[in-house]
Structure 1
Amino acid sequence: MAARGLTWSQLYVGQEFESATRSVTEGDVVTFAGTTGDYSEVHVSRAYAEKTEFGERIAHGLLGLSMAHGLMLGGGLLFGTAIAFLGISEWSFKAPIRFGDTIHVRFVVDELRRRTKRPDQGVVTFAVELVNQHGQVVQSGRKAILLHAEPDNAPQPAEHDAAVPAR
């Protein structure tokens, strides 16, 4: 059984995390195209893509966004504590994700807000960067997630000065 993830009450503004890595494959892109129906030629046609400014096929921007979300949650950080994904804002596609790129996510707690009508829940907003193997930020933005929170009278974690291990 996996360990329980962090609750809203255990997070603090400025807390930093880093995900594991994963490589983006042709199979990922073909599967995403089939699932979404987005067969844009820059993603699926080698002949077409070679004539574009990219010079080769690239992954869908929304595939990168989806992978970023999976990488954030895949390490178990919010396992059993996340209730709902509430939204994204200020998302920017800065550079293409190429077949074979290895990506990971850096994310920081940017805002914490306890729900007034449900004090056992809180919203965390993360500032998120999707980064390739060259250290280039290819996408960035903010993601809001609804989490379970401890009651106000529950014991709180000790000090918040310890480094958070990369996931």
Structure 2
Amino acid sequence: MLTQESRRGHYFEDFEIGQEFLTPARTITSTDIVNFACLTGDFNEVHTNFEYCRQTQFGEPIAHGPLVYGIMGGLQYASGINDGTLLALLQIDGWKMLAPVKHGDTIRLRARVVEKKESSKPDRGVISFERECIKQDGSIVQQMKATLLYRRRPTA
């Protein structure tokens, strides 16, 4: 498994089926949740109202699912594998929210290469990852299959 200390900037040719990446960790804060609500306009009470949340199964505000998804993208960037080589996000399949993420939870991304295929253009290729967002206790809080477009290694 490659970690944050691994080489940065992976080209299409650098990925192998079954290869795993584990990103650095990041703690979610109340500020993250409030900023996301302000950015998106999603002030649903389950994310912003402590009194409302005391009466829910969560007991306190939880992070928006798309906020966690966005942070997962940032964590993959922080791992370095996308440095100068990622071209585009093509598709997300089977996105599941399995457990809440709250203020104070620390998450990281584990991504495993499940598909690799050349594109019709010789300078790029498609990589699909099974992504899992993992909390500090080891529980998986989100999972999905993400398909991304990467540069191919330049020829001399």
Q: TM over 0.5: same fold?
A: yes
For structure 1, which runs of at least 5 residues remain unmatched after alignment?
Answer: 156-167
Corresponding residue for residue 26 of structure 1: 30
For residues 65 and 89 of structure 2, what CA distance do their matches in structure 1 show?
A: 19
Where 1:123 maps in the other structure, the secondary structure is strand
One-letter amino acid of the structure 2 residue matched with residue 145 of structure 1: L
Bigger Cα Rg: 1
- Kept after mapping to 2: 8 A contact 1:4/1:81: no
Q: Which runs of 5+ in 2 are unaligned?
A: 1-6
Give the RMSD, CA atoms, in angstroms.
1.5
Pick one of 40, 59, 62 that aligns with 1:58.
Answer: 62
SS of match in other structure, 1:71: helix
| Residue correspondence of structure 1 range 117-156 to structure 2 within 5 A | 118-150=121-153
Superposed structure 1 runs of 4+ greater than 4 Å apart: none
1:49 pairs with 39, 53, 70, which one? 53
What do residues 17-71 of structure 1 show as CA deviations (whole Å, max 9, x unaligned)? Answer: 1000000000000000000000000100000011111111111011111111110
Q: How far is 1:73 from its partner? A: 1.4
Q: Which amino acid aligns with 1:121?
A: R
C-alpha separation in 2, matches of 1:91 and 1:119: 30
Number of aligned residue pairs: give it. 150
- 1:100 is aligned to 104
- Partner of residue 3, structure 2: none
Secondary structure in 1 matching 2:88: strand
